[in-house]
Amino acid sequence: MSTPVDDELWSAIGDPTRRTLIDLLLASGPSTATSLSAGLPLTRQAVSKHLAVLDRVGLVHAEPAGRERRYHVDEAQLARAAAQLASVGATWDARLRRIKRIAEAIERSRNNTEGE
Partner DNA sequence: ATTAATCCGCAACTAATAGTTGCACGTAAG
Partner DNA sequence: CTTACGTGCAACTATTAGTTGCGGATTAAT
Residues of this chain that bind DNA (CB under 7 A): 15, 17, 32-34, 41-46, 48-50, 53, 62, 66-70
Candidate ranges 7-15, 32-40, 44-52, 107-115; the one touching a second copy (CB under 8 A): 7-15
Identify what 77 binds: a second copy, DNA, none; CB under 5 to 8 Å per kind: none
Instruction: Tell whether residue 89 is a contact of a second copy (CB under 8 A).
Output: yes
Instruction: Tell whether residue 54 is a contact of a second copy (CB under 8 A).
Output: no
Q: Which amino acid is at 104?
A: E
- In this structure, the number of other CB atoms found within 10 A of the CB of residue 90 comes to 11
Cα 57–19–30 angle (5° rounding)? Answer: 75
Which of 52, 79, 105, 106 lies at the binding interface for a second copy (CB under 8 A)? Answer: 79
| C-alpha separations of 86 from 2, 19, 53, 71, 83 in Å | 15, 16, 22, 26, 5
**Among 12, 36, 10, 41, which Cα is nearest to 24's?**
36
| Sites of contact with a second copy (CB under 8 A) | 1-3, 5, 7, 10-11, 13-16, 19-20, 22-23, 26-27, 75, 78-79, 81-83, 85-86, 88-90, 92-93, 95-96, 99-100
